[in-house]
């Protein structure tokens, strides 16, 4: 079965470093102009497009005359700060030839874990789309640290898809799609044309070998597709070196791998909860509690908790895991670490007896729980 989506309305296009730089040595101006041309033509067809583009660090390396990508976070921040100027200027100049304006959007994970800033980012992106402006999104590498950075633009693109409720996420890479094995090393590798986003068997096939100048491998693309599916977004992983690849995909041609979403769209608030890449802690649940929150859609009660980790306060996001450490859900917890440690495994009726007071009978309300589908 060939990958195909019948209708494209709002598209997130993620362009990796290998497709927009000259082997990591600055921007490839011809490649950038080619992407700009395709996006302009897609917009003329009535599609809304948001670009998630790499390239700032590579451009900064060129301007700073560095031949090797630095490993120190502060060096990367400096390169990104220098290179972002050139990246956005190049895009703005290229899109101007088609009478289109661009807007620079720089995000960190911290921007999206804060509820108010999350909503502000969503409003800004939607307003830019309504104004027929092409938003160009990148991680704010100039201030990101190991604690708050997304780590790769595949994840960032999926989060932008959630923010804007895009129908399609197109991840352009230097591979023809998802294969049963790494096609660079195995002659038996077979391309997968279509699959369900979030299928756990896919991750077993994926390689985590990113390119020299990128930070994501195929595994990050699969996880991005799973995340994008929460807002009803289909994902296409395709080779960006194919001629007119964006135009051909939008025209309905079968290119790359289509990862379809078949699960119900997650409510916006629960998308926000599940998009926390870093959390303050975790609570381990027994089998009964897992059934209660997954099958019966109930709240999490303290009696179902068998262990906790972290250093969280009331209102922080924590993960709910099974005994093997697999994430079952994300939730806003109603008690801090010390309180939770005291009431874990007890019935709700005994919370007051244990703590001397009771704030909530539930450890996490079902309205503040988002399953990791």
Percent share of the chain, pLDDT over 70: 92
pLDDT of residue 151: 65
Name the CATH topology of 10-270: Carbamate kinase (3.40.1160)
Predicted confidence (pLDDT) per residue in 194-231, tens digit: 999 988 888 776 644 444 444 457 888 998 999 899 88
**Domain spanning 279-371 has what CATH number?**
2.30.130.10
pLDDT of residue 2: 41
Predicted confidence (pLDDT) per residue in 241-255, tens digit: 999 999 999 999 989
pTM (global) more than 0.95: no
Q: Which residues of 191-218 are buried (b: 16+ CB within 10 A; e: fewer)?
A: ebbbbbbbbeebeebbbeebbebbbbbb
Predicted confidence (pLDDT) per residue in 329-358, tens digit: 999 999 999 999 999 999 999 999 999 999
Query: Which range has the worst mean pLDDT, 95-99, 202-206, 238-242, 294-298?
Result: 202-206
pLDDT of residue 262: 78
* DSSP character string of 182-243: -TTT-TT--EE-EEETT-HHHHHH------SS-S--HHHHHHHHHHHGGGT-EEEEEETTST
- pLDDT-derived band at 57 (thresholds 50, 70, 90) equals confident
Query: Helix, strand, or coil here: 25?
Result: coil
Predicted confidence (pLDDT) per residue in 139-186, tens digit: 887 776 655 567 678 999 999 999 999 999 999 988 898 888 777 777
pLDDT of residue 100: 96
Domain spans of the chain, in order of start: 10-270, 279-371
Query: 14 has which bridge partners?
Result: 52, 171
Stretch 255-269: mean pLDDT = 85
DSSP one-letter code for 359:
S
């Amino acid at each position: 079965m060939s990958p195909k989506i019948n209708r494209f309305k709002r598209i997130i296009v993620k362009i990796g470093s290998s497709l927009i730089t000259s082997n990591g040595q600055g921007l490839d101006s011809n490649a950038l102009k080619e992407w700009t041309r395709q996006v302009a033509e897609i917009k003329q067809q009535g599609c809304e497009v948001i670009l998630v583009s790499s390239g700032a660090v590579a451009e900064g390396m060129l301007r700073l005359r560095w031949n090797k990508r630095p490993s120190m976070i502060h060096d990367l921040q400096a390169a990104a700060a220098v290179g972002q100027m050139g990246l956005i200027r190049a895009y703005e100049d290229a899109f101007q030839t088609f009478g289109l304006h661009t807007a620079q959007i720089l995000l960190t994970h911290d921007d999206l874990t804060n509820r108010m800033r999350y909503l502000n980012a969503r409003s800004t992106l939607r307003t830019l789309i309504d104004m027929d402006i092409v938003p160009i999104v990148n991680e704010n590498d100039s201030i990101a640290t190991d604690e708050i950075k997304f780590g790769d633009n595949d994840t960032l693109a999926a989060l932008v898809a959630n923010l804007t409720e895009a129908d399609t996420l197109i991840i352009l890479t230097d591979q023809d799609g998802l294969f049963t094995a790494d096609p660079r090393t195995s002659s038996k590798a077979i391309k997968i044309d279509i699959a369900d986003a979030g299928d756990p068997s896919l991750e077993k096939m994926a390689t985590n070998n990113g390119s020299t100048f990128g930070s994501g491998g195929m595994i990050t693309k699969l996880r991005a597709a799973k995340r994008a599916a929460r807002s009803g977004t289909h994902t296409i992983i395709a080779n960006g070196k194919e001629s007119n690849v964006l135009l051909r995909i939008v025209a309905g041609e079968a290119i790359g791998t289509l990862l379809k979403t078949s699960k119900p769209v997650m409510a916006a608030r629960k998308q926000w909860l599940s998009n926390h890449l870093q959390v303050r802690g975790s609570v381990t649940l027994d089998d009964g509690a897992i059934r209660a929150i997954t099958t019966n859609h109930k709240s999490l009660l303290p009696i179902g908790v068998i262990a906790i980790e972290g250093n969280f306060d009331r209102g922080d996001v924590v993960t709910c895991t099974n005994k093997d450490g697999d994430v079952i859900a994300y939730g806003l917890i109603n008690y801090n670490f010390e309180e939770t440690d005291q009431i874990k495994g007890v019935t709700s009726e005994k919370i007051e007896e244990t703590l001397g007071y009771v704030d909530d009978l539930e450890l996490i309300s079902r309205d503040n729980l988002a399953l990791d589908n």
